Structure 1
Amino acid sequence: MDPLRAATHADPYPYYAELRAAGGLVFHHGLKLWVASSARAVEAVLAQADCRVRPASEPVPQAIATGMAGEVFGRLMRMNDGERQRCPRSAIEPALELIDDTAVHESVAARLFTADADGLCKAMFRGPVAVVATLLGFAPAQSRTISELTADFVACLSPLSNDSQIAAAHAAAAQLRGSFIELLADAEVSSALLAGIRQRFEGDPDALVANLIGLCSQTFDACAGLIGNALIMLQRQPELRAAPRENLLAEVQRFDPPVQNTRRFLAACCEIDGMRLAAGDVVLLLMASANRDPALNEQPDRFLLQRPNRRSFSFGNGRHACPGQGLAMTIAAATLNKILASGLDLDSLAWYYGPSLNGRIPLFSIGGA
């Protein structure tokens, strides 16, 4: 086990506890990076201005730098610091906060769902993206296409991506870009979300298009993992099936989050949690470990629906906290309601975690099929 393989291990949490006991911030010689495993260390790294989301020498991953996927990646607010992050965020975050939860539930309810493995996969991955696309003003048929293209685009965001996935991602990014340009040019589009973003956005039109694509791409894996990990919890603890979905998901995202870790890159020498880090150093932040730190949450290894003062790093913290947390939780709750109302036999679900260095996203089969 190492801090990267832990993300898809059957139960990484005892290992995370060992890491915390060995020191909240330590250098891993095998991976050649620092590992922040305690809540104090993770919070300190996220608050440090010299800890950036991308290395200065490689703002876009080399594997995608020469194609359209790289063009989009380079403009995403979550992959930038400074003004390239603040400008789109200042336009998008307020608009997301004004979304009507009823509209989200209605959009999820309107989607078809088949109570089989394929239907479950589409509900977890494609459905949430289609909801976001609909909120942005795409027609239902267009929203399905956007969700399919997003699936191809996000495949390039992992270091594990192969050449064919990267080629498909470049093609998908080009089609997504064209679709959003057409959406923005269509005077007949009626979307409060899109209107709110456009009203506040000041800057490069290409950055606006890229970050609208980013709303879809961020939804894809994060919502799928949250929904999937909630289903696993419901299988393991059937008494939770009648619990309010919002309470259930609030604890799932702390207890077994879909994003287990992220990275920061040192732009300058600094001291963090008593350790001296050099410019160019890399820090792996184990948010899933920090969530289980007793210094952050009492009885952290218990799943408590009514957890007092629940704290979590699963959606980030500080300047890069996810602006779409509320929307993601609402989409996940509505989707979970639809899945459970379908009569899907949770006890028949089997799963494995999809290959990833940072995500914990279950892929399901039913009855061994």
Structure 2
Amino acid sequence: MDAIIAATHPDLYPYYAQLRAEGGLVFHQGLNLWLASSARAVAAVLAHPDCHVRPSNEPVPKALVGGMAGTVFGELMRMNDGERQRCPRSSIQPGLALVDLDEVKTLIAARLITPDAEGLHNAMFRGPVCVVAALLGFSPAQGRAISALTADFVACLSPLSDQAQLAAAHSAAEQLNGYFIELLDDPHNRSTLLAGIRQRFAATEATPQTLIANLIGLFSQTYDATAGLIGNTLLALIRDPTLPRDSIHIDDLIAETQRFDPPVQNTRRFVAAPCEIDGVSMNTGDVILVLLASANRDPQLNDNPDVFTLDRPGRRSFTFGTGGHHCPGQVLAMEISAATVREVLAVKLDLMGLCWEYRRSVNGRVPLFKEWPDN
């Protein structure tokens, strides 16, 4: 096993413990990058101003240059540092923090979730995007189309995608861009979320393309991470049938799952200038694989970290990042996940009748469910 393929390994956490025992920040010769595995090292890397989210010589992956997916990628706040990150973030984050969570619950409760693997798949992947689309003022029909396009677009974010998937991502980006052009031109849009975002963007020097790209980014971030959080929470219930399934405990289930078995296992940082991080000298161009999930299991961060504890006091986690690149939609993602799990349990889906495998990924841990084949 190595730290990249670990993200989808069935039993990866003992490996993370081994990495932490070898040192919080060490160089891996085979992968040709640094591994930050301890809570202390992860915190230091995420906070360091010389650790950027993209290499300075390749702000957009070469495979995306020249297409619409690359244009969107280059504008995303999560893929930029400095003002190109702060400007869209300052416009979008305040609105996400003010979303009416009761409205989120209502939107999810209105969706028809069938008690089978296909219904669960739609609830995990399609439902959350439809919720965000509705909050921005799209119609239900538009939301369904946008969720399908988002499924194609997220392929541009994975280095594992082939040429056919990248072509589909470019096409999806074009269509998503069109949807937002129409939405922003609609004088009848009544979304308070979108109105606030537009007002704050207007006070900056950002271009309309930056606004649209980061609205598309809301969908892409919702699609994978929320699906993984929903799926891994259900896996916790499958693995331990004694865990309570009543509504009052769902928020605790979600909170502990995002620490214990997070949907985003790692992220990367690229060293932009010679510096020292956690006592280790770094050179320009060095790459650091930041093992968020490993840090979550560090005993220095949480007591008894390998035990799934619903009422964990002082729970701490790096799943949603920290510092300037902390996920601005954390509260919304947690609420969408909790409301979705409630609805899945309410339709009496037979969780024990499901099997699963993890979707191919270098950083995500997202289960794909199906019914056990008939014997």
| Range class of TM-score, shorter chain | over 0.9
d(CA) in 1 for partners of 2:51, 2:373 = 45
Residue equivalent to 2:128: 128
Say if 2:206 is the partner of 1:206: no
Q: What is the letter of the counterpart of residue 277 of structure 2? A: I
d(CA) in 2 for partners of 1:336, 1:11 = 24
Residue equivalent to 1:367: 372
Task: Report the TM-score when normalising by structure 1.
Answer: 0.99
* Residue deviations 1:79-99 (CA, integer Å, cap 9, x gap): 000011000000100000110
Residue equivalent to 1:236: 239
* Residue deviations 1:240-274 (CA, integer Å, cap 9, x gap): 22361111100000000000000000000100111
Q: What is the letter of the counterpart of residue 171 of structure 1? A: S
Matched ranges for 1:237-316 at <5 A: 237-240=240-243, 241-242=245-246, 244-316=249-321
Structure 1 stretches of 4+ moved >2 Å:
none
d(CA) in 1 for partners of 2:220, 2:190 = 22
Residue equivalent to 1:43: 43
Matched ranges for 1:114-193 at <5 A: 114-193=114-193
Aligned Cα root-mean-square deviation (Å): 0.8
Q: What is the letter of the counterpart of residue 231 of structure 2? A: G
The runs of 5 or more residues in structure 1 that have no matched partner are none
Residue equivalent to 1:341: 346
d(CA) in 2 for partners of 1:65, 1:220 = 23
d(CA) in 2 for partners of 1:328, 1:30 = 35
d(CA) in 2 for partners of 1:235, 1:47 = 36
Q: Aligned residues: percent identity?
A: 66
Q: What is the letter of the counterpart of residue 33 of structure 1? A: L
d(CA) in 2 for partners of 1:97, 1:258 = 21
SS of structure 2 residue aligned to 1:92: helix
Shift of the alpha carbon at 1:367?
Answer: 2.3
Q: What is the letter of the counterpart of residue 309 of structure 1? A: G
Q: What is the letter of the counterpart of residue 263 of structure 1? A: R
Shift of the alpha carbon at 1:358?
Answer: 0.4
SS of structure 1 residue aligned to 2:268: strand
Shift of the alpha carbon at 1:118?
Answer: 1.2
Shift of the alpha carbon at 1:156?
Answer: 1.6
Residue equivalent to 2:329: 324
Shift of the alpha carbon at 1:18?
Answer: 0.3
Q: What is the letter of the counterpart of residue 60 of structure 1? A: V
Shift of the alpha carbon at 1:366?
Answer: 1.2
d(CA) in 1 for partners of 2:253, 2:65 = 40
Residue equivalent to 2:229: 226
SS of structure 2 residue aligned to 1:56: coil
Q: What is the letter of the counterpart of residue 244 of structure 1? A: H
Shift of the alpha carbon at 1:59?
Answer: 0.3
d(CA) in 2 for partners of 1:296, 1:355 = 29
Task: Report the TM-score when normalising by structure 2.
Answer: 0.97
Residue equivalent to 1:91: 91
Shift of the alpha carbon at 1:336?
Answer: 0.5
d(CA) in 2 for partners of 1:200, 1:237 = 46
d(CA) in 2 for partners of 1:35, 1:289 = 10
Shift of the alpha carbon at 1:327?
Answer: 0.2
Shift of the alpha carbon at 1:112?
Answer: 1.5
Residue equivalent to 1:358: 363
SS of structure 2 residue aligned to 1:57: coil
